[in-house]
């Protein structure tokens, strides 16, 4: 504290310096001028900051406030220095003065720096006028803005950065239901549902940090809240407005309720469009597709692009193009909705029947079309119409048959002499047979629909009416009538006949009047009478007493003689035609003369004019006293009658012959059911001879026929007089069956029956039906399920019982379906796969594969499927045979599983073996490494002993060191051999051709150093090339040859022979020496590890070499053996299988 | 012996083998500039002048030959070989691999890595002595190094 006090007392102390008045030579004038100037400056300087501060305190929107304050401080400080300068004339506080000046200096410089920094800005300040103009401009633009704001179609809400509303337009008021005053200064969230407030605040804050223009439709669709609490969807665009008061956010809000509704509708329409099973499309006014729905592409199989590049007409069936174009024309000329059908080509070139509904848009001219696939319906319609056609065909055939019958009937009627008139219930004529016109002169037209009474004789009308009444009362009753009718030329005709009411008969529906003109008969009766009297009959007489002949004129006429011609007895005879006729009459005359026997013969004469004539001659006699005196008689010209008779007989004969020889059986049966006539063919049909039948009744010949249907036909034909046609199965008395086609015709004698034996045809038909039944039976009883597919669609059109049994589906469910109904969920057995198989089979490639089938109960079953193309009744089909193979499949799957397991096992075993092998390898490596190092040490140091200490060791010691070294070396060799042996077991053989000759020669060269006997002789035979592992084979040869050298080394004249021979498909090699040999008893021990037959003092060795040989050869598939005799030598053999590979190659 | 002037670097963990080797070389006056290290780690430290050899010698004064045993604790001969041959400054050093066994599966690998020679140490002393003598003569006297 004392220090601070001291500082200030020193600061204000003025004792160190004299007052200014005393410094130098101040005159009063100079001093006071100085003082007053300083005070003036100070006061002025003091006033300036006061004025500035006052000004600043009044005006708020002033910029560069800091500068003003700095400037004020600077002036104030400057002023203070001047004040202190003035004071210093009396109080010389120079320290204080110095401090003030220092402070002034600092403030000055700060001011300078600030000024430098802000000067450019300060100079850019606008002058008052410019500012006013700008304000004016601002007001105008604000009004413009306000106008724009009000004119904006959307509700505009302007908020500041804090989210408070500062401006809204009238649309906002209208949209939200608030007044302007209710909204201004409220947070914008007032316009947003409460549930969204939190989100909106966050959203708004994020936006104000990075304001950017966000246009309509770019943002989210939001919900807005009205004053009345209702919500509605809106779309909002945002744009930031940078103003001097900070960033404002202008939001335009658009009510999109209607749009969303519309969009929803469009979506619904789109959904409908896209999911409709109907084909929907829009085509432009050139007929090109603009939009098609998925069904369109799916059903027709085209891709959308393929459709868009085409006019609709490109897909129309050629036969339908004309009709389709016509409809298209109507649509273009303004027809509204049109329905029509046509065929459309699918991608696979098949055609679909489509039923269209097309509407043009009157403005754009585009066509809105909806089509439905009616192929199936169409097919059904076609089938129906085909059926109808068949039916019609049959009806027509029937009609023709009936017409034929009718014609036959009509012909009968029309050619008959009888007149047939049909009348209706009013007795008006509806039909008259042609003979009627011939008879009474009236044409058919003249009497048609005219009452029968009109032409009846007035005297007969009463009777006619009575008959009519009776006819109406008794339908079906036949009445006999006779009355007169008037001819066209007014004369009357007598007619006689029967009339029957058949109005009730559906086939006739008329009253049938069957009559005959008997006028002629009546006339003839009269004429006959005349003829009898007048006669064409002459008379003659021969007086035997006078021997004269008398001819009447007519007789002479008949004979065409001269008028006065008088014949005698002999000449009369001569007129008779020579031959049997003349002989007969001569005979008759003779008999008559002798015995009085009369005659009546029809004979031929030759007239005087040489004409041949039939005459009837009747002769009688007169006897007197037992003697013939006169013969007389009549002579009649019967030529015309006779001729007609002859003709009839000839015709009857012709007819009979024809009938007799017909292939059809013909029989005529009388009303008494007795056979009147039968022809040859019927004999065969009936299996009776003619004489066995004629005169017998049908019932006698075919007992039991009364119980059959055909008997009724006989009856009907007898009774109703109608012709009947039928096929009948007939049972013969012996029980056999015959089939006949029978045609019953009523004839005057009774009935006439034509029969055709159709037994064979029926039998054939029966056979076909039986065969069909058999095949159906076989088909159904087949052990496989059989389906018959249509070749192009894959549709199942036939299926057997087994398929029904296996799948559980009914026959009806299977028929007409596709393989789809049997498809399981397994992705390897889909419809697509099935279709592929079917297509391959359709291409003629039989398919055999396993298939997983879905049964009706949902279970899956394995099938073996066999698909074949076949032609059945001229149609190409695919036959599918399904055999259930669940058991086999199960076994197959099990085997597969087992195999996989086995394979897995093999793999893991191999892995294990490989590991073991690797372990062994590592083991043998470390064995060889670690066992050898100490041995090297032993030998090395023993050697040092020998070299460095030989002077200190006696002979015995030296021998011992040598023994140590020898044994150690043996151990090292042993290790090497053992390792080689173990490696041999593991190594894999790499077989390649080996040149044995070269190999053996090389080995002998290598082994030469070990051979200490210069007498050794080699015999090496040529050796074949072998197929073997070269490294191990070299080992074999090395071991065998080195053994031979070793064990023969002690012989006087060592000999080694190497040779080869072939035996039983084996190449056999041998190495033979004449060395020490061994006892044959031990030969089996030779090849075992560590087995030696000699002591190592005599012959070095580890006892592993031959074991290696054995192992190598065994691995090559061969054998090793040896033969020896002590002191005579040994021979080692090995065999290798002959490989034929070379020959095969 | 200044470590910069080492001619033969013997890397051998087996003391007996090392002794026999050195003795054999000595017999032929080849062991004057021989330095023996006992494992791979030490060998690398010596060659790259790191660890206990840091500051003791310069890497550029390379030995004329390295006799390198394969089977060693810590870092084996193959790894040492690899590091020597990978380094630009040391890859010129001739390296002779020593091993006890003919069975060694690494012979191929050693040559591939750039070993200059591969010697199987024979068990019998004569063979061993002969090998070592030849080795010394060849690499120290006959071989002409690249620098």
A542 in the same domain as A567? yes
Contact B123 A968 (CB under 8 A): yes
In a domain, B76, yes or no: yes
pLDDT of res. A3 = 78
User: How far is it, in rounded angstroms, from Cα B44 to Cα B91?
Assistant: 13
User: How far is it, in rounded angstroms, from Cα A795 to Cα A817?
Assistant: 6
Contact B105 A968 (CB under 8 A): no
A686 in the same domain as A613? no
> From residue A1127, how far is each of A714, A936, A939, A1077 by CA, in Å?
132, 38, 36, 5
A969-1000: per-residue pLDDT in tens?
Answer: 888 888 877 777 777 777 777 888 888 888 88
pLDDT of res. A1076 = 83
* 3-class DSSP assignment, residue A350: coil
pLDDT of res. A328 = 82
Q: For the beta carbon of residue A913, count every other beta carbon within 10 angstroms.
A: 11
> From residue A380, how far is each of A357, A377, A529, A816, A1131 by CA, in Å?
21, 5, 81, 13, 99
Number of A–B residue contacts, CB under 8 Å = 65
Contact A936 B123 (CB under 8 A): yes
Mean pLDDT of the A326-355 span: 82
Residue A636: pLDDT band with limits 50, 70, 90: confident
User: How far is it, in rounded angstroms, from Cα A698 to Cα A713?
Assistant: 13
The two tokens of residue A390 are: 């068949």
Contact A944 B16 (CB under 8 A): no
Mutate to test the interface with B, among A917, A923, A933 (most CBs of B within 10 A): A933
Q: What are phi and psi of A859, to 5 degrees?
A: -80, 155
A798 in the same domain as A838? yes
In a domain, A824, yes or no: yes
In a domain, A654, yes or no: no
In a domain, A774, yes or no: no
pLDDT of res. A406 = 67
Sign of the torsion formed by the C-alpha atoms of A187, A191, A197 and A199: negative
Residue A946 in this model has a pLDDT that exceeds 70: yes
Question: Who wins on pLDDT, A417 or A888?
Answer: A888
Contact B20 A936 (CB under 8 A): yes
Domain CATH code at residue A1037: 3.30.565.10
In the block, residue with structure tokens 């803005």: A145
Residue A1142: pLDDT band with limits 50, 70, 90: very low
pLDDT of res. B11 = 92
Q: Please tell me the distance in Å from B5's CA to the nearest CA on chain A.
A: 29
Q: In sequence order, which ranges of chain B are alpha helices (DSSP H)?
A: 15-27, 40-47, 77-86, 107-113, 125-136
Give the count of domains, chain B: 1
Contact B103 A983 (CB under 8 A): yes
Residues 6+ away with beta carbon under 8 Å from A591: A597, A599
Left if phi > 0, otherwise alpha if psi is -120 to 50, otherwise beta: which for A505? Answer: beta
Tell me the chain B residues in contact with residue A965 when contact means C-beta distances shorter than 8 Å.
Answer: 124-125
pLDDT of res. A473 = 87
Residue A1144 in this model has a pLDDT that exceeds 50: no
Mutate to test the interface with B, among A936, A981, A1031 (most CBs of B within 10 A): A936
A468 in the same domain as A434? yes
A995 in the same domain as A905? no
Q: Are B115 and B97 in contact (CB under 8 A)?
A: yes
Contact B123 A979 (CB under 8 A): no
Mean pLDDT of the A762-780 span: 80
A1090-1136: per-residue pLDDT in tens?
Answer: 677 776 666 777 777 888 888 888 888 888 988 888 888 889 999 98
Mutate to test the interface with B, among A921, A923, A934, A939 (most CBs of B within 10 A): A939
Tell me the chain B residues in contact with residue A969 when contact means C-beta distances shorter than 8 Å.
Answer: 123-124
In a domain, B137, yes or no: no
pLDDT of res. A163 = 82
- A921, A924, A939 ranked by CB distance to B124: nearest: A939
Tell me the chain B residues in contact with residue A935 when contact means C-beta distances shorter than 8 Å.
Answer: 123
Domain CATH code at residue A171: 3.30.450.20
Mean pLDDT of the A130-157 span: 79
Nearest CA to A796 out of A814, A776, A772 is that of A814
A286 in the same domain as A229? no
Question: Who wins on pLDDT, B103 or A694?
Answer: A694
Contact A936 B103 (CB under 8 A): no
Q: Quick one: DSSP state of residue A214? A: B
Tell me the chain B residues in contact with residue A983 when contact means C-beta distances shorter than 8 Å.
Answer: 103
A1006 in the same domain as A1115? yes
Q: What are phi and psi of A256, to 5 degrees?
A: -115, 25
Contact B71 A968 (CB under 8 A): no
User: How far is it, in rounded angstroms, from Cα A747 to Cα A950?
Assistant: 165
A943 has a chain B CB within 8 A of its CB:
yes
Q: Quick one: DSSP state of residue B137? A: I
- A925, A937, A972 ranked by CB distance to B104: nearest: A925
Mean pLDDT of chain A: 82
A956 in the same domain as A864? no
Which helix (H) or strand (E) element contains residue A502?
strand A492-502
Sign of the torsion formed by the C-alpha atoms of A555, A559, A560 and A565: negative
Tell me the chain B residues in contact with residue A979 when contact means C-beta distances shorter than 8 Å.
Answer: 103
A320 in the same domain as A255? no
Tell me the chain A residues in contact with residue B121 when contact means C-beta distances shorter than 8 Å.
Answer: 932, 936
* 3-class DSSP assignment, residue A948: helix
Residues 6+ away with beta carbon under 8 Å from A168: A155, A156, A157, A158, A180, A183, A184
Task: Pick the residue from chain B with its C-alpha nearest to A965.
Answer: B124
A967 has a chain B CB within 8 A of its CB:
no
Nearest CA to A1058 out of A1032, A1022, A1009, A1026 is that of A1022
Tell me the chain B residues in contact with residue A929 when contact means C-beta distances shorter than 8 Å.
Answer: 71, 99-101, 103-104
In a domain, B31, yes or no: yes
Contact A979 B20 (CB under 8 A): no
Q: What is the DSSP string of A529-581?
A: HHHHHH-SEEEEEEETTTTEEEE-HHHHHHHT--TT----HHHHHHTBPTTHH
A506 has a chain B CB within 8 A of its CB:
no
A974 has a chain B CB within 8 A of its CB:
no
Contact A936 B16 (CB under 8 A): yes
A1133 in the same domain as A1016? yes
A171 has a chain B CB within 8 A of its CB:
no
Burial class, A484, CB count within 10 angstroms (exposed 0-12 / middle 13-18 / buried 19+) = middle
The two tokens of residue A258 are: 């209607």
Residue A1143: pLDDT band with limits 50, 70, 90: very low
In a domain, B143, yes or no: no
Q: Please tell me the distance in Å from A926's CA to the nearest CA on chain B.
A: 9
What percent of chain B shows pLDDT beyond 90? Answer: 5
Nearest CA to A355 out of A345, A342, A337 is that of A342
Task: Pick the residue from chain B with its C-alpha nearest to A927.
Answer: B101
Examine the fold and report which residue of A616, A644, A672 is the final residue of a domain before the chain moves on. A644
Q: How many residues does chain B have?
A: 147
Residue A529 in this model has a pLDDT that exceeds 70: no
In a domain, A170, yes or no: yes
Which of A189-193, A633-637, A901-905, A1049-1053 is predicted most confidently? A901-905
A949 has a chain B CB within 8 A of its CB:
no
Nearest CA to A360 out of A331, A340, A325, A329 is that of A331
Residue A22: pLDDT band with limits 50, 70, 90: confident
Contact A972 B124 (CB under 8 A): yes
A65-89: per-residue pLDDT in tens?
Answer: 777 888 888 888 888 888 888 888 8
A565-619: per-residue pLDDT in tens?
Answer: 888 777 778 888 888 888 888 888 888 888 888 888 888 888 888 888 888 888 8
> From residue A124, how far is each of A118, A121, A806 by CA, in Å?
10, 5, 103
Examine the fold and report which residue of A833, A864, A884 is the final residue of a domain before the chain moves on. A884
Residues 6+ away with beta carbon under 8 Å from A612: A577, A604, A605, A606
Domain carrying residue B66: 3-126
Residue A532 in this model has a pLDDT that exceeds 50: no
User: How far is it, in rounded angstroms, from Cα A798 to Cα A775?
Assistant: 13
Tell me the chain B residues in contact with residue A976 when contact means C-beta distances shorter than 8 Å.
Answer: 102
Sign of the torsion formed by the C-alpha atoms of A458, A463, A466 and A467: negative
User: How far is it, in rounded angstroms, from Cα A336 to Cα A1083?
Assistant: 116
Task: Pick the residue from chain A with its C-alpha nearest to B102.
Answer: A928
The two tokens of residue A594 are: 């002798």
Q: Which residues pair with A292 in a beta bridge?
A: A281
Q: In this predicted structure, which of A139-153, A395-409, A484-498, A875-889 has the lowest mean pLDDT? A: A395-409
Domain CATH code at residue B18: 3.40.50.2300
User: How far is it, in rounded angstroms, from Cα B14 to Cα B36?
Assistant: 11
Residue A691 in this model has a pLDDT that exceeds 70: yes
User: How far is it, in rounded angstroms, from Cα A748 to Cα A835?
Assistant: 73
Residue A398 in this model has a pLDDT that exceeds 50: yes
A832 in the same domain as A689? no
Sign of the torsion formed by the C-alpha atoms of A1071, A1073, A1076 and A1077: positive
Question: Who wins on pLDDT, A415 or A557?
Answer: A557
Tell me the chain B residues in contact with residue A940 when contact means C-beta distances shorter than 8 Å.
Answer: 16-17, 20, 125, 128
Give the count of domains, chain A: 9
Q: Please tell me the distance in Å from A1120's CA to the nearest CA on chain B.
A: 27
The two tokens of residue A1040 are: 């065998």
- A936, A941, A968 ranked by CB distance to B121: nearest: A936
A970 has a chain B CB within 8 A of its CB:
no
Contact B17 A924 (CB under 8 A): no
Burial class, A313, CB count within 10 angstroms (exposed 0-12 / middle 13-18 / buried 19+) = middle
Contact A933 B100 (CB under 8 A): yes
> From residue A292, how far is each of A353, A935, A1077 by CA, in Å?
18, 95, 104
Question: Who wins on pLDDT, A751 or A1087?
Answer: A751
Domain carrying residue A1080: 989-1144
Q: Please tell me the distance in Å from A929's CA to the nearest CA on chain B.
A: 5
A862 in the same domain as A791? yes
Tell me the chain A residues in contact with residue B16 when contact means C-beta distances shorter than 8 Å.
Answer: 933, 936-937, 940-941
Contact B101 A943 (CB under 8 A): no
Mean pLDDT of the B3-17 span: 84
Question: Who wins on pLDDT, A1068 or A357?
Answer: A1068
Residue A734 in this model has a pLDDT that exceeds 70: yes
Axis crossing angle, helix B125-136 with helix B15-27, rounded to the nearest 10: 60
Contact A940 B99 (CB under 8 A): no
Residue A1070: pLDDT band with limits 50, 70, 90: very high
């Amino acid at each position: 504290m004392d220090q601070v006090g001291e500082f200030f007392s020193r600061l204000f102390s003025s004792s160190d310096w004299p007052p200014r008045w005393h410094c130098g030579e101040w005159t009063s004038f100079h001093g006071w001028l100085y003082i007053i100037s300083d005070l003036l400056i100070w006061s002025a300087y003091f006033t300036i900051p006061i004025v500035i501060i006052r000004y600043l305190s009044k005006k708020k929107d002033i910029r560069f406030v800091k500068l003003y304050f700095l400037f004020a401080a600077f002036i104030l400080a400057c002023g203070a220095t001047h004040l202190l300068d003035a004071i210093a004339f009396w109080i010389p506080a120079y320290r204080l003065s110095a401090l003030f000046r220092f402070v002034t200096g600092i403030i000055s410089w700060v001011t300078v720096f600030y000024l430098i920094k802000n000067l450019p800005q300060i100079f850019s300040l606008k002058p008052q006028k410019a500012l006013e103009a700008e304000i004016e401009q601002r007001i105008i633009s604000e009004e413009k803005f306000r106008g724009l704001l009000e004119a904006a179609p959307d509700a505009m809400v302007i908020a500041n950065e804090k989210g408070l509303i500062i401006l809204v337009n009238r649309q906002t008021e209208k949209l939200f239901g608030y007044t302007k005053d209710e909204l201004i200064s409220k947070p914008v969230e007032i316009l947003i549902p409460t549930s969204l407030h939190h989100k909106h605040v966050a959203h708004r804050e994020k936006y104000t940090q990075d304001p950017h223009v966000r246009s309509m439709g770019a943002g989210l669709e939001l919900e807005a809240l009205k004053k009345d609490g209702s919500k509605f969807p809106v779309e909002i665009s945002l744009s930031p407005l940078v103003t001097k008061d900070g960033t404002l956010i202008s939001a335009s809000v658009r009510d999109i309720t209607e749009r969303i509704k519309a969009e929803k509708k469009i979506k619904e329409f789109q959904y409908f469009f896209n999911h409709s099973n109907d084909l929907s499309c829009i085509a432009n006014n050139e007929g090109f597709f603009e939009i098609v729905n998925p069904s369109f592409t799916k059903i027709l199989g085209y891709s959308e692009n393929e459709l868009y590049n085409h006019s609709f007409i490109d897909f129309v069936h050629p036969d339908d193009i004309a009709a389709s174009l016509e409809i298209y024309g109507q649509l273009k000329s303004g027809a509204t909705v049109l329905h029509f059908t046509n065929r459309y080509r699918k991608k696979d070139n098949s055609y679909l029947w489509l039923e269209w509904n097309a509407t043009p848009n009157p403005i754009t001219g585009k066509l809105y079309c909806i089509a439905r696939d009616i192929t199936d319906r169409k097919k059904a319609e076609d089938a129906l119409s085909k059926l109808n056609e068949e039916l019609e065909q049959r009806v027509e055939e029937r009609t023709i048959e009936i017409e034929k019958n009718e014609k036959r009937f009509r012909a009968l009627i029309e050619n008959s002499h009888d007149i047939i008139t049909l009348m209706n219930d009013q007795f008006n004529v509806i039909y008259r047979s042609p003979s009627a016109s011939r008879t009474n002169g009236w044409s058919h037209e003249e009497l048609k629909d005219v009452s029968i009474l009109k032409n009846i004789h007035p005297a007969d009308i009463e009777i006619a009416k009575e008959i009519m009444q009776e006819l109406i009362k008794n339908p079906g009753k036949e009445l006999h009538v006779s009355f007169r009718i008037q001819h066209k030329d007014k004369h009357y005709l007598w007619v006689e006949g029967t009339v029957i009411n058949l109005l009730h008969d559906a086939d006739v529906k008329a009253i049938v009047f069957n009559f005959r003109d008997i006028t002629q008969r009546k006339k003839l009766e009269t004429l006959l009478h005349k003829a009898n009297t007048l006669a064409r009959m002459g008379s003659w007489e021969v007086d035997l007493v006078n021997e004269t002949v008398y001819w009447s004129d007519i007789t002479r006429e008949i004979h065409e003689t001269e008028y006065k011609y008088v014949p005698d007895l002999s000449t009369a005879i001569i007129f008779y035609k020579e031959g049997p006729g003349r002989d007969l009459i001569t005979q008759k005359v003779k008999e008559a003369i002798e015995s009085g026997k009369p005659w009546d013969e029809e004979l031929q004469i030759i007239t005087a004019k040489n004409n041949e004539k039939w005459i009837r001659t009747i002769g009688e006699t007169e006897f007197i006293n037992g003697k013939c005196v006169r013969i007389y008689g009549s002579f009649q010209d019967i030529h015309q009658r006779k001729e007609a008779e002859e003709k009839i007989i000839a015709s009857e004969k012709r007819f009979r012959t024809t009938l007799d020889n017909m292939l059809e059986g013909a029989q005529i049966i009388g009303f008494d059911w007795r056979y009147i006539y039968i022809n040859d063919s019927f004999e065969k049909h009936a299996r009776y001879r003619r004489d066995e039948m004629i005169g017998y009744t049908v019932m006698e010949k075919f007992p039991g026929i009364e119980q059959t249907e055909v008997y009724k036909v006989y009856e009907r034909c007898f009774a109703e007089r109608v012709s009947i046609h039928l096929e009948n199965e007939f049972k013969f008395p012996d029980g056999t069956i015959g089939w006949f086609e029978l045609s019953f015709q009523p004839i005057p004698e009774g009935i006439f029956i034509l029969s055709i034996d159709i037994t064979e045809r029926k039998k054939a038909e029966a056979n076909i039906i039986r065969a069909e039944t058999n095949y159906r039976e076989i088909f159904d009883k087949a052990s496989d399920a059989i389906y018959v597919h249509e070749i192009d669609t894959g549709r199942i059109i036939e299926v057997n019982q087994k398929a029904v049994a296996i799948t559980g589906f009914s026959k009806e469910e299977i028929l007409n379906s596709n393989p789809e109904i049997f498809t399981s969920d397994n992705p390897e057995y889909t419809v697509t796969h099935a279709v592929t198989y079917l297509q391959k089979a359709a291409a003629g490639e039989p398919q055999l594969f396993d298939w997983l089938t879905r049964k009706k109960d949902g279970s899956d079953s394995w099938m073996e499927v066999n698909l074949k193309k076949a032609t059945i009744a001229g149609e190409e089909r695919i036959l599918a045979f399904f055999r259930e193979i669940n058991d086999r499949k199960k076994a197959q799957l099990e085997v597969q599983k087992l195999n996989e397991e086995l394979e897995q096992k093999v793999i893991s075993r191999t892995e294990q073996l490989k590991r073991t092998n690797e372990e062994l390898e590592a083991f043998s490596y470390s064995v060889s490494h670690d066992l050898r190092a100490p041995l090297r040490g032993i030998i090395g140091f023993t050697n040092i002993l020998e070299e460095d200490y030989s002077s200190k060791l006696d002979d015995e010691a030296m021998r011992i060191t040598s023994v140590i070294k020898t044994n150690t070396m043996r151990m090292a060799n042993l290790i090497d051999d053992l390792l080689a042996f173990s490696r041999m077991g593991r190594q894999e053989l790499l077989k390649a051709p080996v040149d044995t000759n070269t190999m053996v020669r090389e080995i002998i060269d290598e082994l030469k150093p070990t051979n200490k006997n210069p007498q050794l002789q080699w015999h090496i035979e040529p050796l074949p090339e072998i197929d073997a592992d070269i490294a191990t084979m070299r080992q074999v040869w090395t071991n065998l040859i080195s053994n031979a050298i070793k064990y023969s080394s002690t012989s006087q004249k060592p000999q080694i022979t190497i040779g080869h021979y072939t035996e039983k498909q084996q190449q056999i090699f041998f190495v033979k020496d004449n060395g020490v040999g061994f006892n044959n008893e031990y030969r089996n021990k030779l090849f075992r590890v560590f087995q030696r037959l000699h002591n190592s003092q005599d012959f070095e060795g580890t006892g592993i070499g031959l074991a290696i040989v054995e192992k190598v050869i065994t691995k090559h598939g061969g054998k090793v053996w040896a033969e020896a005799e002590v002191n005579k030598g040994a021979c080692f053999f090995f065999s290798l299988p002959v490989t034929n590979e070379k020959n095969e190659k | 012996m200044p470590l910069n002037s080492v001619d033969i670097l013997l890397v051998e963990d087996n003391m007996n083998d090392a002794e026999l080797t050195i003795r054999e070389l000595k017999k032929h006056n080849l062991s004057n500039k021989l330095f023996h290290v006992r494992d791979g780690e030490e060998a690398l430290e010596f060659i790259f002048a790191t660890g206990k050899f840091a500051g003791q010698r310069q890497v550029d004064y390379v030995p004329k030959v390295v006799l390198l045993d394969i089977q060693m604790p810590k870092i084996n001969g193959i790894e040492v070989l690899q590091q020597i041959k990978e380094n630009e400054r040391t890859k010129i050093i001739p390296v002779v691999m020593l091993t006890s066994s003919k069975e060694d599966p690494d012979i191929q690998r050693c040559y591939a890595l750039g070993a200059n020679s591969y010697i199987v140490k024979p068990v019998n002393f004569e063979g061993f002595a002969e090998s070592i003598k030849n080795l010394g003569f060849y690499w120290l006297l006959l071989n002409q190094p690249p620098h």
